[in-house]
């Protein structure tokens, strides 16, 4: 576990390689955090929830960091307003790296001392998983920051997180599931976030799920059929969003009105749109409207999970690509219990007006995803690596 901890911590810093200091400071939108904030917040998490709980009279590295790098834990005192993280020039990136080094050493020493302590192992495992979540968030935020810049900076020259090309539309196969009672959700046999449990029964009707993701080519047909101009395809809030934000294409498409020259902002800079690749960075509103236009629908989270369990190949395809929107609002499972103590704020309080995504994505750290995983975002959000898997009812 200590080795996994060290590797995870190193990897977070590694993800910032190639960035300029300036890239690590800015916050173009309230929901996009500066990379240096992620470096500091994940360290704050270790201080507040491990060092301070497990060491007598623990003296914090800097008392002011307790407020600055608390994300949203009300029971841990005041926190800096999320949308103003980008106004903080200090601590500098180097000061934060030094902060990480010092805290990592303290955790290391403590972990050696507590290595037989299973409660300690549990919280350390949670901290690792927390840091992994922020690695994915950091890759989302970095993309959003670089995309905002008209100079189109490049994060990495080659696409190391290779997207497995999905099957083409003609070859789409449907995985059929029969009506009946199924069990979904996490039991206690291995680590899971609180929102994944408890394991419980659901009743599903006959349905099928596509074995691959909707492609840019298919999505372009939707656009060309005036998908963004037909209110009947959209949820009411979705239509308001399209009109207010003047949405005419997925988030990172550039020049969508000049069909031959559509480009997409990627981690390798601006690239011609690859028609066979899965359409990405779309909102729930868009995924839902596309599915309606196609005469199909999005799967529920239970349907997705049941399919994935039954079909190992499917999981592999999805998890190396894009998170799939489900039509399920993010609600607690029956008999859901939050984590204890301050960690009760980890997941439960967000179970309102968001939708569940399943499947993982190319930015998800290896080993982080499980079939029971429940990712969640508001229906208008698009900067995560999101895509569309279609479902349909069967007789």
State the nearest-atom distance from the C-beta of 375 to its own copies, in Å: 16
165, 276 contact by CB (below 8 A): yes
The backbone torsions φ and ψ at residue 377, rounded to the nearest 5 degrees and listed phi first, read: -150, 160
CB distance 130 to 368 below 8 Å: no
Nearer to its own copies, 77 or 367 (CB): 77
Among residues 26 and 106, whose Cβ is nearest to its own copies? Answer: 26
In angstroms, give the least distance from the CB of 166 to its own copies: 27
User: Minimum CB separation from its own copies for residue 327, in Å?
Assistant: 7
Would you tell me which residues interact with its own copies (CB under 8 A)? 20-28, 36, 64, 67-68, 72, 74-75, 84, 86-93, 145-146, 148-151, 153, 181, 200-203, 205, 231-232, 234-239, 327-329, 331-332, 334-335, 344-345, 349-353, 379, 393
Which tokens belong to 91? 């601590």
Identify which of residues 110 and 357 has a Cβ nearer to its own copies in the complex.
357
- The DSSP result for 231-250, as a single string, is GGGS-HHHHHHHHHHT--S-
Start-end of H helices in the chain: 2-14, 35-46, 52-54, 63-68, 93-113, 118-148, 216-224, 236-245, 284-293, 301-310, 312-319
Cβ-based nearer residue to its own copies, 178 or 353: 353
> Helices 2-14 and 93-113: crossing angle, nearest 10°?
170
Rounded Cα distance between 310 and 319, Å, is 15
CA distances from 395 to 170, 172, 181, 265 (A): 23, 19, 17, 42
3-state SS assignment for residue 153: coil
Minimum Å gap between C-beta 205 and its own copies is 5
Residue with smaller CB distance to its own copies, 74 or 226: 74
Nearer Cβ to its own copies, position 124 or 267? 267
Paired with 376 in beta bridges are 356
Beta carbon nearer to its own copies, 55 or 392:
392
- Min. distance of Cβ 204 from its own copies in angstroms? 8
H/E element holding 325?
strand 323-329
Percent helix / strand / coil, the chain, rounded to 5: 45, 15, 45
CA-to-CA separations, 266 to 31, 51, 199, 274, 384, in angstroms, rounded? 19, 39, 38, 11, 13
What kind and span of H or E run contains 383? none
CB of 241 to its own copies, least distance (A): 10
User: Rounded to an integer, what distance in angstroms lies between the CA atom of residue 19 and that of residue 155?
Assistant: 7
Q: Which is nearer to its own copies, 165 or 178 (CB)?
A: 178
CB of 366 to its own copies, least distance (A): 28
Minimum distance, C-beta of residue 232 to its own copies, in the bound complex (Å): 6
Q: Which residue's CB is nearer to its own copies, number 28 or number 197?
A: 28
Report the nearest approach of its own copies to the CB of residue 211 (Å).
21
Torsional sign, CA 143, 34, 42, 3 = positive
């Amino acid at each position: 576990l200590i080795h996994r901890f060290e590797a995870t911590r190193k990897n977070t810093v590694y993800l910032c390689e190639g960035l300029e200091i300036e890239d690590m400071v800015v916050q173009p939108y309230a929901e996009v955090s500066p990379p240096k904030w992620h470096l500091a917040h994940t360290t704050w998490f270790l201080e507040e929830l491990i060092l301070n709980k497990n060491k007598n009279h623990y003296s914090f590295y800097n008392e002011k960091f307790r407020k600055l790098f608390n994300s949203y834990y009300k029971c841990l005192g005041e926190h800096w307003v999320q949308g103003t993280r980008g106004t903080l020039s200090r601590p500098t990136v180097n000061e934060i790296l030094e902060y990480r080094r010092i805290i990592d050493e303290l955790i290391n020493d403590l972990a050696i001392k507590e290595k037989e302590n299973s409660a300690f192992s549990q919280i350390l495992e949670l901290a690792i998983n927390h840091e992994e979540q922020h690695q994915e968030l950091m890759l989302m935020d970095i993309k959003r920051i670089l995309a905002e810049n008209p100079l189109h900076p490049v994060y990495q020259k080659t696409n190391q997180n290779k997207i497995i090309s999905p099957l083409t539309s003609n070859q789409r196969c449907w995985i059929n599931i029969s009506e009946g009672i199924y069990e979904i959700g996490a039991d206690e046999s291995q680590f899971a976030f609180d929102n994944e449990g408890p394991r419980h029964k659901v009743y599903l009707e006959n349905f099928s799920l596509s074995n691959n993701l909707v492609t840019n080519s298919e999505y372009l047909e939707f656009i060309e059929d005036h998908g963004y101009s037909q209110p009947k395809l959209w949820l009411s809030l979705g239509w308001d969003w399209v009109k207010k934000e003047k949405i005419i294409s997925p988030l990172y498409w550039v020049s969508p009105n000049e069909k031959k020259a559509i480009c997409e902002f990627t981690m390798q800079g601006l690239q011609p749109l690859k028609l066979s690749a899965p359409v990405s960075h779309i909102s729930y509103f868009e995924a839902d409207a596309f599915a309606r236009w196609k005469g199909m629908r999005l799967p529920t989270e239970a349907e997705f999970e049941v399919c994935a369990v039954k079909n190992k190949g499917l999981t592999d395809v999805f998890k190396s690509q894009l998170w799939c929107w489900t039509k399920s609002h993010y609600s607690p499972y029956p008999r859901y219990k939050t984590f204890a103590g301050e960690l009760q704020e980890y997941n439960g309080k967000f179970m309102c007006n968001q939708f569940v995504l399943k499947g993982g994505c190319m930015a998800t750290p290896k080993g982080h995803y499980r079939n029971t995983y429940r990712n969640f975002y508001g229906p208008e959000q698009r900067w995560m690596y999101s895509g569309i898997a279609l479902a349909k009812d069967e007789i």
